């Protein structure tokens, strides 16, 4: 486990209901709420709020770390996150995760800090977002 350097997450498919539900609470702009308005927008189709993609990036990365035997707790810091293209209805989001340095301690009690690079793809091989971040991973037995 300790020499694992890259991980691949599971898949979360974006559907119109989830995109609209998130947008109505957090990002009520026409291209996230209404198919017709979205078709005529600069994005050219109904697409997810960038913050929905960001939150899903952390979820996918966290699940992949847990699959690999590391007890992911939360994302604690983001050096940068770039939205590279819109995430449309039907995209099957998955993340490729590169593990960087691990350092003791951090802002979360009883946890180490793990550096990650997370690239989220749309299911057709296109990267939609890239995040450099730090996450908290539980110290064994805590």
> Is there binding between residue 54 and other proteins (CB under 8 A)?
yes
For residues 35, 39, 44 and 45, what is the CA-based torsion angle, rounded to 10 degrees?
20
Element (H, E) at 54: helix 50-67
> Is there binding between residue 2 and other proteins (CB under 8 A)?
no
Residue pointed to by tokens 């992949």 = 64
State which residue, 27 or 123, has the beta carbon closest to other proteins: 27
β-pair partners for 135: 75, 114
CB distance 117 to 98 below 8 Å = yes
Q: Which stretch binds other proteins (CB under 8 A): 3-11, 95-103, 105-113, 118-126?
A: 105-113
State which residue, 3 or 80, has the beta carbon closest to other proteins: 80
> By C-alpha distance, which of 100, 9, 14, 13 is closest to 60?
9
> Is there binding between residue 55 and other proteins (CB under 8 A)?
yes
Determine the size of the site formed for other proteins (CB under 8 A). Answer: 36
Q: Contacting other proteins (CB under 8 A), which of 14, 19, 22, 89?
A: 22
β-pair partners for 113: 103, 136
Chain residues binding other proteins by CB under 8 A are: 22, 25-29, 42-43, 49-52, 54-56, 58-59, 62, 72-83, 107-111, 142
């Amino acid at each position: 486990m300790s020499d694992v350097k890259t991980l691949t997450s599971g898949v979360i498919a974006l559907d119109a209901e989830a995109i609209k539900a998130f947008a109505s609470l957090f990002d009520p702009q026409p291209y996230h709420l209404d198919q017709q308005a979205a078709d005529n927008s600069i994005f050219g189709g109904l697409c997810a709020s960038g913050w929905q993609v960001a939150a899903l990036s952390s979820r996918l990365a966290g699940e992949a770390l847990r699959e690999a035997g590391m007890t992911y707790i939360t994302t604690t810091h983001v050096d940068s996150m770039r939205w590279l293209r819109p995430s449309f209805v039907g995209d099957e989001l998955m993340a490729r995760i590169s593990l960087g340095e691990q350092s003791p301690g951090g802002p979360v009690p009883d946890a180490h800090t793990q550096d990650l690079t997370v690239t989220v793809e749309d299911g057709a091989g296109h990267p939609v977002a890239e995040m450099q971040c730090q996450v908290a991973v539980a110290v064994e037995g805590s």
